[in-house]
Structure 1
Amino acid sequence: MATVRDAKRLVIKIGSALLVDRATGALRAEWLASLAEDVARLRARGTDVILVSSGSIALGRGVLGLPATDLSLEQSQAAAAVGQIRLAGAYDAALARHGLTSAQVLVTLEDSADRRRYLNSRATLEQLLRLGAVPIVNENDTVATDEIRYGDNDRMAAQVAVTAGADQLILLSDVDGFYSANPMQDAGAHRFDVIEAVTPEIEAMAGDAGSGLSKGGMKTKLMAAKTATAGGCDMAITQGAVLHPVRALEEGAAATWFLAQGDPQQKRKAWIAAMKPKGRITVDAGAAGALAKGSSLLPAGVAQVSGRFGRGDPVEVADEAGRVLGQGLTRYDAGDADRIKHLRSDQIEDVLGYPARGPLIHRDDMAI
């Protein structure tokens, strides 16, 4: 069974109720400090950590004196604008005590639905992690309308986990796992330690309207589990209100683990391989050999570009004999790719007028 100690890249989802006291609207500073300690310990042993956090609207509504009842879209956006800066500041201060750099990343549903924006998000997260930062991801509630909202941070966390190639996702919740029925109503309800697949029978157990044990809570968590596990990421639901919640999970706290359906990198490459290509990039013998060894495709190794494709589109990669070597997502459109073929990376800016975006196709975006 999966354990947090096995994680190479971990996404942790934090809900508003964990961060913000519902009665006072104040930040739960002691709890946040304990989470920061958990993150510092994870980072010290080499685990990449991404936090997906709610809380901006909850923090902002108190500052603006908005009611505790449901807010209009405009009121929610205003509360988010005020709360986001406070939320980011709180995370920055908590992590800085451990010598960690935080980074705020605001996203909307379009950032995963649009392939180009998806690649931009993935590249940004990858670069932040490579530089040692801890990304704090939140939905951009100041501009998100109903049409472009994820709608809940459980599913957003699962999408972030898949986008970032995480191997584990932890949903810090108000319950300690997934139960066969609502334990507050059914004394015979039992918690699942491990769920290997989200079957219709499991979905039927998710409950009715309420809070964390309800359709509004557990059903979205099951949707998150389906997304995460299909992308090769294990997912855990565990009680988050305790201090040091990740350490508690490591030390055996109650939880339900949903098991991944394969490796995240393998799942991503299978997804890329299944796309319909919009063009072809022909490479020379040297580049073909480098690709076979797991290298990225550099412009210098490109012999020919054909087809009409945009940045982020899938393209075939073939050798000069016409044999298809694989498929990948290109970082340049067809016109720019053709202009920079044969060029070294340090020559690209002079030709295109902007700095090189690294390889033409990164090895993580290519299925050979």
Structure 2
Amino acid sequence: MSQPQTLVIKIGTSSLSESTNGKLALSTIAALVETLTRLRYQGYRVVLVSSGAVGIGCSRLNIQERPRKMAKKQAVAAVGQGRLMRVYDDLFSSLEQPIAQILLTRRDMIERNSYVNIFNTFQELFELGVIAIVNENDTVAIDELKFGDNDTLSALVASLIEADWLFILTDVDRLYSADPRVFPTAKPITLVNTEDFAQLEVNAGNKGSQWGTGGMATKLSAARIATSAGVRTVITQGKYPENILKILQGEPIGTQFEPASRGERARKRWIANGLVPLGKLYLDSGAVQAICQRGKSLLPAGIIAVEGNFAAADSVQLCNQQGEEIARGLVNYSSSEIEQIKGQQSAKIASVLGYLTAETIVHRDNLVIKDT
């Protein structure tokens, strides 16, 4: 018996709320709830990543624009999140579909044990037939460790739970070569394969709606994260959530991004997508070639410069001499230690530092090459 497919559906604030006043678009939410419940009854495992807490909080408190001050935004999110879940619970309950709330911060993704626990929780919810509703825990998140937008959050969740599909529901029907509301001659894009994605040229604004945080640029970034983890990604119109069913049946609605092959282990997906790099190591051409073409570990001899302040076991970006990221991984030494041993042969580490933790700076098992 084949494994049921896992779907992550992200819906943005622009789809959940009225553009004029930020109030809930109840007809859209009702259609979304009915669609997700039908998908569950058809055997799919379903996760909903829902924006809207801040916008709904603003509406409840009669605030006319999205707060800019972090503490106020967090307070407003706390007001809106309860209201948002109440609406979802009422609608899903009317269809006898149980739901669960999962609030995440980037810190939850960084800690390996927490990352694994999140995966296990999702698996148990799937077994129980529950639809998980995910949002960033805005009330406790800090600027340095925020996802930034729910497009990114949905892609990271899709990667974490090894989803088959990520649907990003937004306020346009598909991806265009430019914003069709500004450029009437913008061309629609229906399919993006893995080879074309790197060369994709789109005039993608990064400004979302008045009440949201996203834009097409964040959606493309999310698609890159998800497809690199083997998740087929779709950008489509949020006002018609029933289109998800049609897309799964093969109708050419929205823009689809073909996934890369899912060859990496879960640990490497965590390194690639879950962690926030805390520094950079600049490598000479020989080290870049050894890592990218021969699958080698990073040795101190190949390092020409160190940037940032990080500890052993932290995540760093590995960059070529032009500053372009070629990989990222977990270091065996701190930034101050690497500063002392950069350019040296591994045999000299002990004499320079007075001890030897490892002969490699980043072992190939803890290293993920960046897709080009």
When normalised by structure 1's length, the TM-score is 0.66
Q: CA separation of 1:63/1:183 partners in 2, compared to 1, >3 Å: closer, same or farther?
A: closer
Residues of 1 paired with 2:131 and 2:66: CA distance?
A: 33
Partner of 2:259: 260
One-letter amino acid matched to 1:158: A
Partner of 1:17: 14
Contact 2:190 2:252 in 1 (8 A): no
> Are 1:221 and 2:219 counterparts?
yes
Q: CA deviation at 1:143?
A: 0.8
Contact 2:229 2:269 in 1 (8 A): no
Aligned residue for 1:61, secondary structure, equals helix
Partner of 2:234: 236
Any idea what the Cα deviations from partners look like across 1:123-173, whole Å, max 9, x if unmatched? 111111111110000000111111121001111100000111101000001
Q: CA deviation at 1:112?
A: 1.5
Partner of 1:201: 199
One-letter amino acid matched to 1:68: E
Partner of 1:85: 82
Aligned residue for 2:100, secondary structure, equals strand
Residues of 2 paired with 1:17 and 1:250: CA distance?
A: 24
Where do residues 128-277 of structure 1 align in structure 2 (5 Å cutoff)?
A: 128-197=125-194, 199-202=197-200, 204-208=201-205, 210-211=207-208, 217-242=215-240, 244-247=242-245, 249-250=247-248, 252=251, 254-263=253-262, 266-268=263-265, 271=268
One-letter amino acid matched to 2:186: A
Aligned residue for 1:77, secondary structure, equals helix
Where do residues 55-94 of structure 1 align in structure 2 (5 Å cutoff)?
A: 55-94=52-91
Residue of structure 1 aligned with 2:122, choices 118, 121, 125: 125
Residues of 2 paired with 1:142 and 1:128: CA distance?
A: 24
Q: CA deviation at 1:7?
A: 7.2
Residues of 2 paired with 1:124 and 1:116: CA distance?
A: 12
RMSD: 2.6
One-letter amino acid matched to 2:173: D
> Are 1:115 and 2:109 counterparts?
no
One-letter amino acid matched to 2:261: G
Residues of 1 paired with 2:111 and 2:226: CA distance?
A: 19
Residues of 1 paired with 2:270 and 2:117: CA distance?
A: 20
Q: CA deviation at 1:76?
A: 0.8
Q: CA separation of 1:45/1:168 partners in 2, compared to 1, >3 Å: closer, same or farther?
A: same
Q: CA deviation at 1:246?
A: 2.3
Residues of 2 paired with 1:66 and 1:241: CA distance?
A: 25
One-letter amino acid matched to 1:238: T
Any idea what the Cα deviations from partners look like across 1:317-363, whole Å, max 9, x if unmatched? xxxxxxxxxxxxxxxxxxxxxxxxxxxxxxxxxxxxxxxxxxxxxxx
Residues of 1 paired with 2:266 and 2:198: CA distance?
A: 28
Aligned residue for 2:7, secondary structure, equals strand
Q: CA separation of 1:162/1:195 partners in 2, compared to 1, >3 Å: closer, same or farther?
A: same
Contact 1:236 1:257 in 2 (8 A): yes
Aligned residue for 1:201, secondary structure, equals coil
Q: CA separation of 1:158/1:78 partners in 2, compared to 1, >3 Å: closer, same or farther?
A: same
Q: CA separation of 1:20/1:186 partners in 2, compared to 1, >3 Å: closer, same or farther?
A: closer
Structure 1 segments, 4+ long, off by >6 Å, are 272-275
Q: CA deviation at 1:51?
A: 0.1
Q: CA deviation at 1:62?
A: 1.8
Contact 2:232 2:257 in 1 (8 A): yes
When normalised by structure 2's length, the TM-score is 0.66
Partner of 1:334: none
Residues of 1 paired with 2:22 and 2:208: CA distance?
A: 19
Q: CA separation of 1:270/1:58 partners in 2, compared to 1, >3 Å: closer, same or farther?
A: closer
One-letter amino acid matched to 1:246: I
Q: CA separation of 1:230/1:245 partners in 2, compared to 1, >3 Å: closer, same or farther?
A: same
Residues of 2 paired with 1:81 and 1:177: CA distance?
A: 32
Contact 1:239 1:254 in 2 (8 A): no
Q: CA separation of 1:54/1:66 partners in 2, compared to 1, >3 Å: closer, same or farther?
A: same
What residue ranges of structure 2 are gaps of 5+ in the alignment? 273-372
Aligned residue for 2:189, secondary structure, equals coil
What residue ranges of structure 1 are gaps of 5+ in the alignment? 1-5, 276-368
Partner of 2:43: 46
Q: How many residues align?
A: 265
Q: CA deviation at 1:250?
A: 4.7
